[in-house]
Amino acid sequence: MLSILLSFILLYGVQLLHPAWWWVFPAPALAGAITARSGWSGFFGCGLGAGLAWSLAAILELTGDGAIVAGRIAAMLDVDSPWLLVLLTFVVAFVCGGFAGMAGYYLTGGRGEKEKR
């Protein structure tokens, strides 16, 4: 839960200050290095935080002035609705943030509790 919250706050906050797409890697990696207890918890926690952050940004853009651009991108990608782009955004951010969170955990040497099998 803490990795989801920290990943979300870091990613959304940093992207408000400096909007760049590549923040989806270092922010969840830092959150994974700090809060993850295993590789899987780093993947799912940080991935969910990154996916929620990007989805929130996409929803705010879609409901605001970006609806025209989102409609054109949806037409260009042969997607039926711009709202499906929000789902696609979530999936891309989840995968990228998840692998970044898992990498952040393993870069610390896997210092957390061991996974129980």
- Which tokens sit at 102? 């898992």
Place of tokens 């803490």: 2
Residues 6+ positions from 46 with CB-CB distance below 8 Å:
3, 4, 7, 28, 29, 31, 32, 36, 97, 98, 100, 101, 102, 104
81-116 residue pLDDT tens: 889 999 999 999 999 999 999 999 999 987 655 555
Please tell me the pTM assigned to this model.
Answer: 0.86
